[in-house]
Chains A and B, each alone.
Chain A
Amino acid sequence: DTGVSQNPRHKITKRGQNVTFRCDPISEHNRLYWYRQTLGQGPEFLTYFQNEAQLEKSRLLSDRFSAERPKGSFSTLEIQRTEQGDSAMYLCASSSGDAGHAYEQYFGPGTRLTVT
């Protein structure tokens, strides 16, 4: 158990509906990341928070996607007007960002989204 939790674990929705996922990072970690993973591929970076500040967003994150981390703890990822191409595993990871090499990112179990 890595300590990062995500909810829900699975979500099935109809095209055009909005969905929201939640990520609870390891409590002392100030950095939080969202990734998307499609079948047979490695995860792709979506966005990154340091505390409550969203420092970077990938071009993959269209205007239908929004992520927040209002209090610098948990984060939410919302997808509006879902499309079938949004079907994927959405992974959250957190890291401490301590000085030193190679900040270790700890991944949650992911939320599997299926858009019908």
Chain B
Amino acid sequence: KNQVEQSPQSLIILEGKNCTLQCNYTVSPFSNLRWYKQDTGRGPVSLTIMTFSENTKSNGRYTATLDADTKQSSLHITASQLSDSASYICVVSRMMDSSYKLIFGSGTRLLVRP
């Protein structure tokens, strides 16, 4: 079964601290993996997209890693800010679906406290 699992389910950190979110997937054949940020009541916004040949990609204070062999990805947030409070969703696309059908994880809810 094609699944995407994320951990932790929720996380609370202090402003300025770093954190790492995890994503494990069993989707096959793999096409690409995306991390989205979703603010409460809003649609998801893409942070990074990685294909199987990429093992790290950064977007400002966000750095995603991908290990296609172990089917694991992580999203590292550096020097967290209050505005980072949101849900972070890991999304995997299956190759045969030509990327038009995405398989979403349930997300990690991050709360950054002052």
Q: List chain A positions with a Cβ less than 8 A from chain B.
A: 2, 4, 31, 33, 40-45, 48, 55-56, 91, 93, 95, 97, 101-110, 112
Contact = CB atoms under 8 A, between A and B. Distances in A.
Interface string B29-54: 00110101000011111100101000
Given A42-B91, A42-B105, A112-B41, A104 B46 contact: yes
Contacts of A4: 43
Interface of B: 4, 31-32, 34, 36, 41-46, 49, 51, 89, 91, 93, 99-102, 104-107
Contact of B93 (A93, A102, A107): A102
Nearest to A41: B106
Contact of A110 (B41, B101, B104): B41
A110 B40 CA distance: 11
Given A2-B43, A102-B32, A109-B43, A48 B104 contact: no
Among A45, A55, A101, A112, find the residue whose CB has the most chain B CB atoms closer than 10 A. A101
Contacts of A97: 100
A41 B93 CA distance: 17
Contacts of B36: 107
B101 A45 contact: yes
Given A107-B43, A110-B43, A102 B31 contact: yes
B106 A91 contact: no
Given A102-B31, A108-B43, A33 B100 contact: yes
A110 B46 CA distance: 15
A9 to B, nearest CB: 9
Contact of A103 (B43, B44, B51, B100): B100
A45 B2 CA distance: 14
Given A102-B34, A107-B44, 4 more contacts: A95-B100, A101-B32, A103-B99, A107-B36
